[in-house]
Chains A and B, each alone.
Chain A
Amino acid sequence: MAAPIPSPTGPAMPFVHRLREAVIAGLVAMALAVPFLGLRTVNLDQGLVVQANLAYVPLAGAVVFLGRLILGLLAAPLAKAAAPLATWRPPAGAQRLRPWGGPLLVLAAAALPFLPFANRYVIDLGTTALIYILLATGLNITVGLAGLLDLGFAAFYAIGAYTCALTTTQLHWGFWPALAAGGLASSLFAVLLSLPILRLRGDYLAIVTLGFGEITRIVILNWQGLTGGPNGVSGIARPTLFSLTFDRRAPAGGHTFSEVTGIAYAPEHRLIFLYLIILALTALAAYTVARLRRLPIGRAWEALREDEIACRSLGINPTMVKVSAYATGALMGGLAGCFFAARQGFVSPESFGFMESATILAIVVLGGMGSQAGVIIAALFIVVLPELARGFADYRMLAFGLAMILIMIWKPGGLLSGRLPTIRLSNAKPKPVAEAA
């Protein structure tokens, strides 16, 4: 029996089968098109009237028929073309270059604002992408490494942002102490949140974290006295460089960057400075995660994802492992939130809805769970591509969906799905051999 849906790598199906399949798809499309396209309600004087416009129905059928046929015919060659992609491994020599990859990437990213084509827009876009990379790096600890699904990560983002907003506007703290406070507050909150959900797993964990994300947003929205509710908080302190501001005129008793350095004032300086801060934060976070993965705590996170019962049988306390994973991930989310608040100068609950959690999770899943390089590529993909395609704004989501489907077909585990071992015996320094034989 032939399977109804041809596997992309299976033997080529005869053309007749493809044709039949396409005809069936076209008929189904026509049946669906009758209510969706053929009938529409029009608001006339005498009220709502249903108008029939059945001309669309055969059109829809034809489009689906052709699309299915072409897709069917292209499936085999496409799968063949993509096969090397799925099994592609970097050449052996690349292994030695790996340690240099991170620093080189950071240097290249640091050079971006000074390149000739860099304008406000490019730097701003880069800053947004880096915020998402930082967020996804944090979420990657909980989801990718420790295997704890979290659909409410935006809560930690929001707590970081609001901590920054409130400490700078109410307590008149500077940006840097507020940044530390944002990270810590978010981390602390994660510890409290993680305690009730330690026993949950899988779907249940997903639902509860989704709930926590929404609860956080709704509390912020309704706690008018503290957070300003839907009006948000404005007038958040801008980041300073050793107490130098990037304003045109120095505040009372302060100095500006341009005064001290003698460089003529330009509004871009602040943008470049912001970009470099988030780059430094993100690089630090990525480096920390890379180190943590090689430490007992990081290995325990991964072991927990693999088998919680085996962890317990080895004396590892799953509670501590989970709480530490949530806290470390939230710390990074909080830092990103704090930076976001300082960059915008304004926060409101709208920025931390479920879509935000979903986007961050999409970056982690798309990049390949647990992979830092995957997170970077996926964040660029999700943040930068829609911007580039702004001209086709109406079709952006369509293209996005198509890209997602292609990735599901070719790279179901994410763009970079392979897990890198944290240590190799062949690289470890061998112990001097004591035995004679």
Chain B
Amino acid sequence: MTEPLLDVQGLTMRFGGLLAVDGVDLTAERNRITALIGPNGAGKTTIFNCLTGFYKPTAGRLLLRHPTRGPIELQTLKGYGVARTGVVRTFQNIRLFPSMTVLENLLVAQHQALMPRSVFSLAGLLNLKGWRAAEEAAVDTARDWLRRLDLLAVADEEAGNLSYGMQRRVEIARAMSTNPLLLCLDEPAAGLNPRETRALAELLAGIRAEHGIGILLIEHDMGLVMDISDHIFVVDHGARIAAGTPAEIRNDERVIKAYLGEPDADDAAHAGGDAH
């Protein structure tokens, strides 16, 4: 058993008098899909915001075992610094660059890799060979992800003009273009129709199999979560109430209680997402 990619210990986030996250422990491993579930307002997105550097946690330790840079304490980094370690997220309410094309969105994502190759824009301004090669490689990376997510046909469209389901895919493609270590998806299936959700499940399973990265997932679609997750953490009122495999979680009494009944009730509520 190798050590997990991400090790979160005692994560606590306090907003004034409100204790949003209370000493949560969780781990995420490479080649595994880890799901974070819980009722609305349980603190899932707050945990995500702490993990990805958008909030500074009140307490706790977020340890990322980086294959080349060694162990990194994420809570000490600035917001954009976390993304540079390879922990890249998507957003619950999609955040694309709407008036830029899909391809441009994916190229912006490769900013960190491209910036030194443009030698702070000097090589780029002179259009030197090294820069052109770097840009072609970036376009190739983008093209691969567009093909993968069936977005080639809309590569030159403005991202903001696409349908909701497509925008979700563009956001995942954009995150994957950064060549991440840990992909954090905040409700990737929200608003997708059942067919799109199935495609998403296949995609995530494919990424897990091929890219050797970890996936951390917040999701309300219990069908999807139970289907593809390797490990599930359940939070309620900011605290972790259960952890285990899908089968264990399914039968966990506290989880069932937290959701006030069958977890599948949530499934039905989300199944009728907007049509394509």
Q: Which residues of A approach B to under 8 Å, CB–CB?
A: 288, 291-292, 294-297, 299-300, 302-303, 306-307, 309-318, 419, 421-426, 428-431
Note all chain B residues with C-beta closer than 8 A to A291: 124-125, 127
Q: Is the CB of B103 closer than 8 A to any CB of chain A?
A: yes
Are A300 and B143 in contact, CB atoms less than 8 angstroms apart? no
* CB of A134, distance to nearest CB on chain B (Å): 18
Cα separation A425 to B70 with both chains bound (whole Å) = 37
Are B124 and A316 in contact, CB atoms less than 8 angstroms apart? no
Note all chain A residues with C-beta closer than 8 A to B152: 425
Note all chain B residues with C-beta closer than 8 A to A299: 100, 104, 107-108, 111
Q: Is the CB of B237 closer than 8 A to any CB of chain A?
A: no
Partner of B80, one of A296, A302, A303, A317: A317
B47-89 vs A, CB cutoff 8 Å, 1 = contact: the mask equals 0000011100000000000000000000000111101100011
Q: Is the CB of B6 closer than 8 A to any CB of chain A?
A: no
Q: In this complex, which of A422, A423, A425, A428 has the most chain B Cβ atoms within 10 angstroms of its Cβ?
A: A425
For this complex, 27 residue pairs linking A to B, each with C-beta atoms less than 8 Å apart, are A292-B125, A295-B118, A295-B125, A297-B121, A299-B111, A302-B108, A303-B100, A309-B54, A309-B91, A311-B108, A313-B54, A313-B88, A313-B89, A314-B83, A314-B109, A315-B84, A315-B88, A315-B112, A315-B178, A316-B108, A419-B99, A424-B101, A424-B103, A425-B143, A425-B155, A429-B136, A430-B143
Partner of A316, one of B54, B80, B142: B80
* CB of B136, distance to nearest CB on chain A (Å): 6
Are B111 and A296 in contact, CB atoms less than 8 angstroms apart? yes
Are B83 and A312 in contact, CB atoms less than 8 angstroms apart? yes
Q: Is the CB of B98 closer than 8 A to any CB of chain A?
A: yes
Note all chain A residues with C-beta closer than 8 A to B53: 312
Are B139 and A314 in contact, CB atoms less than 8 angstroms apart? no
* CB of B252, distance to nearest CB on chain A (Å): 32
Cα separation A425 to B52 with both chains bound (whole Å) = 31
Are A421 and B118 in contact, CB atoms less than 8 angstroms apart? no
Q: Is the CB of B114 closer than 8 A to any CB of chain A?
A: yes
Note all chain B residues with C-beta closer than 8 A to A303: 97, 100, 108, 111
Task: Using known A-B contacts A295-B125, A299-B107, A315-B111, determine if residue A310 contacts B96 with beta carbons closer than 8 Å.
Answer: yes
Task: Using known A-B contacts A299-B111, A423-B104, A425-B152, determine if residue A310 contacts B91 with beta carbons closer than 8 Å.
Answer: yes
Cα separation A288 to B80 with both chains bound (whole Å) = 28
Note all chain B residues with C-beta closer than 8 A to A419: 99-100, 158
Note all chain B residues with C-beta closer than 8 A to A292: 121, 124-125
Q: Is the CB of B156 closer than 8 A to any CB of chain A?
A: yes
Task: Using known A-B contacts A422-B104, A425-B143, determine if residue A314 contacts B111 with beta carbons closer than 8 Å.
Answer: yes
Note all chain A residues with C-beta closer than 8 A to B146: 425
Note all chain A residues with C-beta closer than 8 A to B99: 306, 419
Are B124 and A295 in contact, CB atoms less than 8 angstroms apart? yes
Note all chain A residues with C-beta closer than 8 A to B88: 313-315
Note all chain A residues with C-beta closer than 8 A to B231: none
Partner of A312, one of B54, B108, B178: B54
* CB of B241, distance to nearest CB on chain A (Å): 28
Note all chain A residues with C-beta closer than 8 A to B81: 315
Note all chain B residues with C-beta closer than 8 A to A294: 124
B142-178 vs A, CB cutoff 8 Å, 1 = contact: the mask equals 1100100000100110100000000000000011001
Note all chain B residues with C-beta closer than 8 A to A430: 143
Nearest 9 pairs of A and B residues by beta carbon: A315-B83, A306-B97, A425-B155, A295-B124, A310-B95, A315-B84, A296-B114, A303-B108, A421-B101
Q: Is the CB of B140 closer than 8 A to any CB of chain A?
A: yes
* CB of B231, distance to nearest CB on chain A (Å): 24
* CB of B98, distance to nearest CB on chain A (Å): 6
Note all chain A residues with C-beta closer than 8 A to B111: 296, 299-300, 303, 314-316
Task: Using known A-B contacts A312-B83, A315-B84, determine if residue A296 contacts B118 with beta carbons closer than 8 Å.
Answer: yes
Note all chain A residues with C-beta closer than 8 A to B80: 311-312, 314-318
Q: Is the CB of B199 closer than 8 A to any CB of chain A?
A: no
Q: What residue of chain B has the Cβ atom nearest to residue A310's Cβ? A: B95
Q: In this complex, which of A288, A294, A430 has the most chain B Cβ atoms within 10 angstroms of its Cβ?
A: A294
Are A428 and B107 in contact, CB atoms less than 8 angstroms apart? no
Q: Is the CB of B275 closer than 8 A to any CB of chain A?
A: no
Are B143 and A423 in contact, CB atoms less than 8 angstroms apart? no
Cα separation A419 to B125 with both chains bound (whole Å) = 21
Q: What residue of chain B has the Cβ atom nearest to residue A435's Cβ? A: B147
